[in-house]
Amino acid sequence: MMTMKVSRKEVEHVAFLSRLALSEREAEEFTRQFNQIFKQFEKLNELDTSQVEPTSHVLQMQNVLRQDSVRSSLPIDEVLANAPDREDGYFSVPRIME
């Protein structure tokens, strides 16, 4: 398989998807490092996994379900205690245009 090449522009785009703006140095560094790291990742292509099931859980557990019963919620002041900004019992954020 062809080696994936990572460009700085791409790194910055993916950072934007994660809502991060990278500094000059970070963008530079990440691009260089990701190219090295992806080379390591591509070692996985040495393995034929066409007949292999993916593992997302090591435990073969199923149907962990709870009864539909109401438990008390947090008091509103505790809900909002950590809020960087609040208004009238609501969380407040910069205006969103709809």
Partner 1 sequence: MNIYDMTLHQLWKMLHEGDITVQEIYGSFAGRIEEVESKVGAFVNLTPDIAELQVHKAADRWSEGRGVTPLTGLPLAIKDNMSLVGVPNTCSSKMLENYIPPYNATVVEKLAEDGALFIGKTNLDEFAMGSSTETSAFKLTRNPWNLGHVPGGSSGGSAAAVAAGESPAALGSDTGGSIRQPASFCGVVGMKPTYGRVSRYGLVAFAGSLDQIGPITRDVYDCAIMMNALSGHDACDSTSADIPVPDHTTGLGQDIRGLRIGLPGELFNEGIDASIREAIYTAVDLLTGMGAECVEISMPHLEYSMPVYYILATAEAGSNMARYDGVQYGYRASGAKDILDMYIRTRSEGLGTEVKRRIVLGTYVLSSGYYDAFYLKAQKVRTLIKADFDRAFTRVDLLVSPVTPTTAFKAGKRADDPLQMYLSDICTIPANLAGLPAMSVPCGFDNGLPMGMQIIGKPFDETTMLRVAYAYEQSTDWHKRRAVLAG
Partner 2 sequence: MKYEVVIGMEIHAQLLTKSKLFCGCSTEFGAEPNSQCCPICLGFPGSLPVMNRKAVDHIITTALALNCTVARESIFARKNYFYPDLPKAYQISQDDQPLGERGYLDIMDGSRRIKIRRIHLEEDAGKLVHIEGEPFSLVDYNRGGASLMEIVTEPDIRSAEEAAAYITELRSILRYIGVCDGNMEEGSLRCEPNISLRLHGAKEFGVKAELKNINSIRAVQRGVAYEIERQSQILDEGGTVIQETRRWDEASGTTISMRSKEEAHDYRYFSEADLVRVVVDDAWLNRMAAALPELPQARRERFIAAYGLPAYDAGVLTESKEIGDFFDKVAAISHDYKVVSNWIMGELMRLLNETGQSLEQSHMTPEVLAEIIALVDKGTINLKSAKEVFEESFHTGKTPSKIVADRGMAQISDEAALSGIIEGVIAANSKVAEDFRAGKEAALGFLVGQVMKETRGQANPAMVNKLLREKL
Q: Among partner 1, partner 2, none, what binds residue 24 when CB lies within 5 to 8 Å by partner kind? A: none
Is the separation of the CB atoms in 30 and 16 below 8 Å? Answer: no
Amino acid code (one letter) for 74: L
Q: Does residue number 49 form part of the binding site for partner 2 (CB under 8 A)?
A: no
Q: Does residue number 76 form part of the binding site for partner 1 (CB under 8 A)?
A: no
Q: Judge residue 11's burial from the number of C-beta atoms within 10 Å of its C-beta, 0-12 exposed, 13-18 middle, 19 or more buried.
A: buried
29 is written with which tokens?
Answer: 């560094």
Q: Among partner 2, partner 1, none, what binds residue 9 when CB lies within 5 to 8 Å by partner kind? A: none
Task: Return residues touching partner 2 (CB under 8 A).
Answer: 17, 19, 56-57, 59, 61-74, 76, 79-80, 85, 87-98
